Structure 1
Amino acid sequence: MRKLLYTVALFVMASACSTKPESKPYNWEDDLYQRLLTDFCMTESQVKDYIRKYIPDVTDEQMRQWEASKALECMMLDGEKRYFRNAGPNLFRVDSTCYDIKIAKEGTSPSGSEKVNMENLPEIISAVKKEGKAIVAPKRMRVTYTLTVDTNAVPAGKIIRCWLPYPRQDQARQQDVKFISASEPQYTFSSPECRHSTLYMEKRAVEGEPTVFSETFEFTANGEWHNLKPEDVQPYDTTTALYKEYTAEREKHIVFSPRLREVAAKLTAGET
């Protein structure tokens, strides 16, 4: 849940701006609040309608119990209780009793990605063992990524800025990256030194029309597998700059709250 609240869209963001000097500057709290309103968009009635598919006689008391246990995601915004957009389905993943009820009604079946992995993972492992290298099974991919901003979501004439994800070219698992096209004539690729690889475009909003951004690219994707053994895993050198950088807090995005520290200590009790 905390991860949800502090996750920021790293690749895609649309924001209205103006050339007028009195334009309101970017504010993290305002942005976070707007994202919470977007994610917590369900009413109790809507969530109950979903739950009734599996528990027809669901009661208010049960709702309060699930909320108290954090299995049913909700929060107060503007003095109103709002539920996470996927609160209903998530309840049947998080709460063990609800999970059993759903499984009894629908059974289990692998998801689309699980079906692919059932074939792909054995293929990769077999190839690694046969070829004696960790990166194998190359496959050429063509990707078209499209982002659509709803009609009139941004006032007409305002500029919408958009960052779309683009493959890094310094990763062994993805090679031969080839840019094909972008929806806008003017675009900018992020510097290789940036932590995240993106393609930037912007466009003015038009009244009565959606604003659409898209890109197409190709790259060769590879499978990777390392046959790790317990004896291969050595203690971290906690004094190195690398360790300190990637285990540190990053305000706004990664904050070690007392509850998070408590859970981490409990999960790693006895570990060295």
Structure 2
Amino acid sequence: MTSFVSAQTRFTDLNELILKGEFTKAKRMIDEKIHSGTLSYPEIFELEFEKERLERIKLDFNKSSDDVLKFINKYYPDLEEKDLIKWEEDGSLEYKIIDGKKWYFSRAASNLFRINKEAKKQKELIEGYKKDQLDVFLEDYIPQVLEESANSQEIFVKPVTFKLNYTVTVEANAVPDGEIIKCWLPFPREGHQRQVDIKFIAANVDEYIIASNDNQQRTIYLQKKAEKDQPTVFNIVVEVTNFNESNLILPELIKPYNTQSGLYKTFTSERIPHIAFTEKIKKLSENIVGDERNPYLAAKKIFTWISENIPWAGAREYSTIENISDYCLTRKHGDCGIKTLLFMTLCRYNGIPAKWQSGWMLHPGEVNLHDWCEIYFEGYGWVPVDQSFGLIDSEYEDEKYFYLGSIDAYHLIINDDYSSTLFPAKLFPRSETVDFQRGELEWRGGNLYFDKWDYNMEVEYK
């Protein structure tokens, strides 16, 4: 199964070239259209981004068959290139034909041993079974949270304070000497009972702008002048206290929705392109949810099905995927955000309000970007759901389904929506068009994509 790259333009002839993987011809056609003098500014902007998107896809699909075999041969020593076909056809090895040559996704080889059950068993046979350290931590930690909540009769318990030292480093000579680099870094959101006492401590520039909490993807804006042969470094230090949130949700106590309310209409609607009620979504929903009309029980069925049928795997950059929820359903795997958007789409289709939330996971030894969401139950309000963490390995129902309505304190909230406008507004298309966790950078000559800079989060637990 080749990785389907759908064109995102209004030009049929261009779309056909892109769908065929003829990227060089497509970029040539884009240049011709731009210089024809017949296009509006929005059309030119659209085509410029499509040209950039093709380059991003090539960065994601950068492994040859030799590269893939070198990794896989550690577990299948006698495997040859012809043997890869079975995994390509069943979707376990993601590849794309670009300009007539087969290129594999940069994480295709490692993903194989997460996606394919046979390959996963083979890896365990060679290396032995190793339980994920995050799972070990959570299986010990979640019972403590539930016990504390039950004993105190409080929803928000066991606060943890983090001192966050976040750095973005732009490579030397990414822009000409003396040019100003503009930088948007993630900043914790306020207004959540489980995330409080946000304290800005320092930045390595004298002037900065912290976006108001009205911005659903919250930023701190900095800028610096580039120096020849020197990396440009942006750094902030922030402190924040987060609580575990433990909600005891009783399905029979959920009240009927006010289907005429703005909240209900907004958060149960499609949001093209990533939340779309396609025929595949409708059919899957019928198979999973059936006639269940209780919102919690319907969400539970969706949560369970995705947990059991959609394994976690490293993901392509979201800006290269036309419809993320459909991609998840088609490929049968996804990372945290991809799985979350499938969950949100199925919830919304079933009349359960769902909205995006994301930021960082700050668990000891497991600090990383992370996405999850919230769903709304009348009588309870918005409650968190981490579809990526999914089902906890426990015989107890409240532990097993902890992440369907509850969440641990190690989730740092940066975003309460996706694809929102940053403040101040960027002039050029974003590197990450959906999420916002790493940051965004640009200069007067254009956007600075992820291959031009690195990021690092250091966490001190207080």
The TM-score with structure 1 as length reference comes to 0.80
CA distance in 1, matches of 2:241, 2:73: 46
Distance 1:154 1:112 in 2: 40
Which 10-residue stretch deviates more, 62-71 or 78-87?
78-87
Looking at structure 2, the residues matched to 160 and 260 of structure 1 have their Cα atoms a distance apart, in angstroms, of: 42
Following the alignment from structure 1 to structure 2, what is the Cα–Cα distance between the partners of residues 138 and 246? 30
Cα drift, residue 109 of structure 1? 2.4
Determine if the alignment matches structure 1 residue 115 to structure 2 residue 136: yes
1:136 and 1:227 map into 2 onto residues whose CA distance is 13
Please give the alpha-carbon distance, in whole angstroms, between the structure 1 residues aligned to 2:270 and 2:179: 35
In terms of mean alpha carbon deviation, does 228-237 or 180-189 score higher?
A: 228-237
Deviation of 1:160 after TM superposition, in Å, equals: 3.1
Query: Distance between the aligned counterparts of 1:177 and 1:270, measured in 2?
Result: 44
Matched, 1:139 2:165: no
**CA-CA distance at 1:107 after TM superposition:** 2.3
For 1:177 and 1:168, how far apart are their aligned partners in 2?
A: 8
Tell me the CA shift for residue 171 of structure 1: 0.8
In structure 1, what is the Cα distance between the partners aligned to 2:91 and 2:70?
Answer: 19
Q: Could you tell me whether the CA contact under 8 Å between 2:164 and 2:238 is conserved in 1?
A: yes
Shift of 1:257: 4.9
The answer for the alignment partner of 2:72 in structure 1 is 51
**RMSD (CA atoms):** 2.7
* Aligned twin of 1:247: 268
- How far apart in 1 are the matches of 2:185 and 2:60? 21
Where does the alignment leave 5 or more consecutive residues of structure 2 unmatched?
7-43, 294-462
> More deviation in 237-246 or 193-202?
237-246
Distance 1:131 1:227 in 2: 13
The percentage of aligned residue pairs carrying the same residue is 33
Distance in 2 between the 1:94 and 1:45 partners? Answer: 20
What is the CA deviation profile of residues 178-233 of structure 1, one whole-angstrom value per residue up to 9, with x for unaligned ones? 00111222221122111122112223433322222221100111111112344345
Counterpart mapping for 1:6-155 below 5 A: 27-155=48-176
Deviation at 1:91, TM superposition (A): 0.7
Secondary structure at 2:85 match in 1: helix
Distance in 2 (alpha carbons) for counterparts of 1:71 and 1:219: 40
Residue 260 and residue 84 in structure 1: after superposition, are their counterparts in 2 closer, same or farther (change >3 A)?
farther
Q: Which residue does 2:237 correspond to in 1?
A: 216
In structure 2, the CA distance between the partners of 1:44 and 1:223, relative to structure 1 (3 Å rule), is same
Q: Which gives a bigger RCO, structure 1 or 2 (Cα 8 Å, sep 6+)?
A: 1
Cα distance in 1 for residues equivalent to 2:189 and 2:152: 25
**1:139 Cα deviation from its structure 2 partner:** 1.5
- Which residue of the partner structure matches residue 18 of structure 1? none
Alignment partners' CA distance in 1, 2:150 and 2:285:
35
CA shift, 1:161, in A, is: 2.9
Q: Displacement of 1:259 after TM fit?
A: 4.2
In 2, Cα distance between equivalents of 1:92 and 1:260: 27
CA shift for structure 1 position 114:
2.2
Q: Following the alignment from structure 1 to structure 2, what is the Cα–Cα distance between the partners of residues 118 and 195?
A: 32
Q: CA deviation at 1:51?
A: 0.8
Residue 130 and residue 167 in structure 1: after superposition, are their counterparts in 2 closer, same or farther (change >3 A)?
same
**Per-residue deviation, 1:72:** 0.9
Question: Counterparts of 1:153 and 1:45 in 2: how far apart (Å)?
Answer: 31
Where 1:45 maps in the other structure, the secondary structure is helix
1:15 alignment partner in structure 2: none
| Shift in Å, 1:262 | 4.3
Distance 1:119 1:233, change over 3 A: same
* Count of residue correspondences: 251
| Contact 2:162–2:239 (Cα < 8 Å) also in 1 | yes
- Superposition pairs for residues 164-243 of structure 1, below 5 Å? 164-232=185-253, 238-243=259-264
Q: Deviations over 1:5-34 (max 9, x none)?
A: 89xxxxxxxxxxxxxxxxx95844244334
Q: d(CA) in 1 for partners of 2:67 and 2:282?
A: 35
Counterpart residue identity of residue 87, structure 1:
A
Distance of 2:259 and 2:97 partners within structure 1: 40
